[in-house]
A and B are shown apart, each in its own frame.
Chain A
């Protein structure tokens, strides 16, 4: 299994500012993912972050709004730029690992609860 930590766990921010969320994993992983979960809704994939290459963004998400860094195999950051109240959400970091028995399992960090005023 993987132990994933995120910082900050929560924040309240002013409109127009930016917040960088950090994700640290206790093992080396090739693929890291950033998700958003808005209140009462399902998780939505923002982007896939591979070490050594640019992140791949899903439809509706762009690099200027959600720049991602992936400097090594255990760490990634997601920045929410020029925030508006619509960005209020939980942001989750996730990794995919091959468990014992060769089962691909996706693990999630505890999430960062963001409120934009």
Chain B
């Protein structure tokens, strides 16, 4: 079983729509959780950390469910610029485990 599993998508949504997707992780001892964004042919960049209480950053909301070992990301009022691959990342000490990514395409 992969350490981090994500629905690869793609999620094709119109501008202004809300899109949400999850990832699951296998290591219950994982300590930190993140969402990274990766644009085509670019390096991953940190979108946001995910905290146990859930957190928001503008139009982005992240949730963590430790009991069920899943993390979610919700994007409200989607923009064309949100089109990217979103990587779920789970950390155990200094080691990061990456999901394969969920591709989101926002269309005009």
Interface of A with B (CB < 8 Å)? 31, 40-45, 48, 92, 96, 103-111, 113
Contacts and interface: CB of A to CB of B under 8 A. Distances in A.
Give chain B's interface residue range (CB within 8 Å of chain A): 10 to 19
Q: Chain A interface mostly helix, strand, loop or mixed?
A: strand
B98 A42 contact: yes
8 contacts: A43-B44, A43-B96, A92-B44, A104-B32, A107-B46, A110-B42, A111-B42, A111-B43
Contacts, number: 36
A42 B43 contact: no
A40 B41 CA distance: 11
A18 to B, nearest CB: 24
Contact of A110 (B43, B49, B101): B43
Interface of B: 4, 32, 41-46, 49, 87, 94-96, 98-101
Contacts of B99: 42
A50 B11 CA distance: 39
Contacts of B4: 42
A96 B94 CA distance: 8
Contacts of B43: 92, 108-111
Contacts of B32: 104
Contact of A43 (B42, B45, B49, B98): B98
Contacts of A106: 46, 96
A41 B2 CA distance: 12
B94 A31 contact: yes
